[in-house]
Each structure stands twice: as C-alpha cells, then as structure tokens.
Amino acid sequence: MDWEGAGWGWTGLGWMPQWDWMRLRMGAGGARSNIWGRAHPYMGSAAPNPHSLTQVANAIAQARETAAWPGDKGNHVDATMGDEDEEDEEEGSPPTLLFETLQDWERELQRLGAAGWRVSAVNERFDMAPSLPRYLWVPNALLDHDLKRTFAHFQERRVRLCWHHPNGSDLLRAASFHAASEPGSEDIRCLEVLLGAGCRPCVLADTAELPTPQDIQLAHLRLRALCLPADEKWLSALEGTRWLEHVRSCLRKAVEVASLLAGRRCSVVLQEPSDRDLGCLLASLVQLLLDPHSRSLHGFQSLIQREWVAMGHPFPQRLGLSCSASHVGAQCSSTVL
C-alpha cells in the first residue's frame, strides 16, 4: 500500500490534499510499499507466476480470516458466532429486500445502525441520476437541494454511500470526477461532505490497477475453452488464462479495503470510471467479508439486488444478450462471475 505524507500530490484522478486523504495502491501481486511518485518496478502487466494456484488459495484464506477481523482485539468478531447468527437468521428471516421502495432502504439502514445517514427521495423520478436507484442514503447534514450540486462533480452523477461499519467507518462508491473539474478543488470537498472527512481518516481505493472488464472477459473465454478439450498441460494452460490471477487481485483488493474499514476505522471510496463493474464487485466482496448478514441466503440476494441491479450494472450488455455481433467483444464481460 502507498500512504501519502503532507502536501499535495497527483493521484491520476487529480490533485488531492494528502493530509486528508490516503491512496491505496494494489497490484496483481499484492500490496507493496513505496513512496508516492517513485518508479514502481511492477506497475503495468503482472509477471507470470508459476504458483498462481497456491496464491489464489492464500488470498481466499486471507479473505476468510478478514471476515473475523483480528487487527483490534476490542473489535474482534468470532467467525463461529457469525455462522451461528447466519443459521438463526435463515430460520425466521424476513423476505428478501428488493430495494424498490422507500421502506426497503429504511429497513436496511436501520439494520446497519447508521445513525448519521438518512434515506433521500431526491432521485425518485430519476431526474438527478437516471442510472442510480430511486432512493439514496445520504448524510443527515446534507439537504436534498444540495445533493444535485454535490453529485454533479462525478460522471453520470454516480456517487453513493453503500455500507456502514459498526465502528463508524463508511464505504462509498463513486464514478470518476469530470475531466473539466479543477484538480483538488471542489471534488475532494464533495467527498468530504459525503463522508465527513474531518471526523475520521478517508482512503481513496484506486481500481485502475485491477483487471478491466475486457481483461476479465478475455480470461473467462480462455477458461471456458480450457474446460472443453483434454490437455496434458492443463495447469499451465489454466495459468495462461489469467483468470485465477484476476480473481486473486480482486480478493486482495477487497481484503485491503475490509482491513481499512474494520481495522484502521477509515472510510473508503471505491472509484472507477463508470462505477458499473469493479465498484459492484468490490463493494459486494467487502460486505461479504465484514457483514454476516450478507453471507446468509436472503442477505446475499439483497446484496446482489442493491449493489448490482439497483446500481445499474448492465447485465444484458455484459452477458451479450442485447449486443450486435460487432459490439459483443467490446461490451461483454463476466465481472459478475
């Protein structure tokens, strides 16, 4: 991970004040420590790894351990207790929340215990952000008439609070800032308003180093082709698809974000250009790691409904159901898999 000192620095998204914000960098090979701006030997495409199967297994094991965060003994959660809670919840659980009504959003907000948030109906007619759901979680201190001005700094006005940790840290998803925005001016102030950056540290999690939806689709196609014929060099061919490498890099990023939320008590912003693919994926993985309710049947269904369906993930385009033959390759991606 890269942590910034005082001053201002170029983040690839704009100039940001580094005393308020820290930037998390993660490559396919895992977290690496270096000073901001120093040439990184592993930036770009990841070097081939002959032990990718072992590394993926280690990443999954680390992700499972993060579900019961061991960083702070005072906040330690027993994984066994979480499993028992999940079983009890399955027996008499309420219907799956589809997040189509105001009551669904209020019920989930109450479950999270986010006292500083409220449900806003400012987008009820989809006139503020057509690709966002009708109802949004916003800070109590932010009035509805200020939301449009705040959201206007992001592509397609896509920015949303999506989860609250019991220790007070928040998880937010956002699209890229507008190219015309002035670096480090109003953009960061908007995020500070949404997350209350003056109350606790905030981290901007960079998704640029994760595989793109096109990379994931290419790896998925290679993996499918690999499963058809018999091959004496199956393991080497499996590594050549890079599917396991992409799975490992996404798991590692989710573990880092979960550690920041639960251990360091930092609020985290997941930012990608469109907030329609990797934002859905990482937000879901983080909640699966930290929230036992998300690992229950009804909780997982509600998670998919809230982070993928309600947030406008283009399932028809990504799964190739509504694309012409000339556009299938450009728009298809198996991110949800």
Residue 181: the pLDDT is 63
**Residue 241 pLDDT level (bands cut at 50, 70, 90):** confident
**Residue 254 pLDDT level (bands cut at 50, 70, 90):** very high
Residue 254 lies in a domain: yes
Residue 258: the pLDDT is 96
Residue 73 lies in a domain: no
With 60 as the cut, is the pLDDT of residue 235 above it?
yes
C-alpha–C-alpha distance, residues 247 and 284, integer Å: 14
Number of domains in the chain: 1
Residue 48: the pLDDT is 43
Domain that holds residue 203: 20-25+93-331
Residue 69: the pLDDT is 47
Give Dmax (Cα) for the chain.
64
Looking at the chain, the whole-number percentage of residues with pLDDT higher than 70 is 61
Mean confidence (pLDDT) of the chain: 74
Looking at the chain, the whole-number percentage of residues with pLDDT higher than 90 is 28
Residue 46: the pLDDT is 42
Residue 257 lies in a domain: yes
C-alpha–C-alpha distance, residues 32 and 39, integer Å: 12
Nearest C-alpha neighbor of 275 from the set 127, 172, 153:
172
With 50 as the cut, is the pLDDT of residue 30 above it?
no
Residue 40: the pLDDT is 34
Owner of token pair 């495409």? 45
C-alpha–C-alpha distance, residues 286 and 137, integer Å: 18
With 70 as the cut, is the pLDDT of residue 96 above it?
yes
Nearest C-alpha neighbor of 160 from the set 147, 146, 179:
147
Residue 240 lies in a domain: yes
| pLDDT (mean) for 241-265 | 92
Task: Output the 3-class SS for the chain.
Answer: CCCCCCCEEECCCCEEECCCEEEECCECCECCCCCCCCCCCCCCCCCCCCCHHHHHHHHHHHHHHHCCCCCCHHHCCCHHHHHHHHHHHHHCCCCCCCCCCHHHHHHHHHHHCCCCEEEECCCCCCCCCCCCCCCEEEECCCCHHHHHHHHCCEHHHCEEEEEECCCCCEEEEECCECCCCCCCCHHHHHHHHHHCCCCCCEEEEECCCCCCHHHHHHHHHHHHHHCCCCCCCHHHHHHHHCHHHHHHHHHHHHHHHHHHHHCCCCEEEEECCCCCCHHHHHHHHHHHHHCHHHHCHHHHHHHHHHHHHCCCCCHHHHCCCCCCCCCHHHHCCCCCC
**C-alpha angle with apex 111: 110 to 117, nearest 5 degrees?**
40
Residue 171 phi, psi dihedral angles, 5° rounding: -115, 125
| pLDDT (mean) for 175-184 | 71
Lowest mean pLDDT among 21-25, 41-45, 122-126, 305-309: 41-45
Residue 320: the pLDDT is 65
Residue 312: the pLDDT is 77
Residue 80 lies in a domain: no
Write out pLDDT tens, residues 279-297. 888 999 999 999 999 999 9
Residue 326 lies in a domain: yes
Write out pLDDT tens, residues 105-147. 999 999 999 988 999 999 999 999 999 999 999 988 888 888 8
Residue 195 phi, psi dihedral angles, 5° rounding: -110, -5
| pLDDT (mean) for 154-178 | 90
Residue 216: the pLDDT is 87
Residue 246 lies in a domain: yes
Residue 250: the pLDDT is 92
**C-alpha angle with apex 168: 134 to 262, nearest 5 degrees?**
105
Nearest C-alpha neighbor of 283 from the set 249, 299, 306, 317:
306
Q: Which residue has the higher pLDDT, 180 or 28?
A: 180
Residue 323: the pLDDT is 52
Write out pLDDT tens, residues 41-91. 333 334 445 455 667 667 666 766 665 544 444 444 444 445 555 545 455
**Residue 8 pLDDT level (bands cut at 50, 70, 90):** very low
Residue 227 lies in a domain: yes
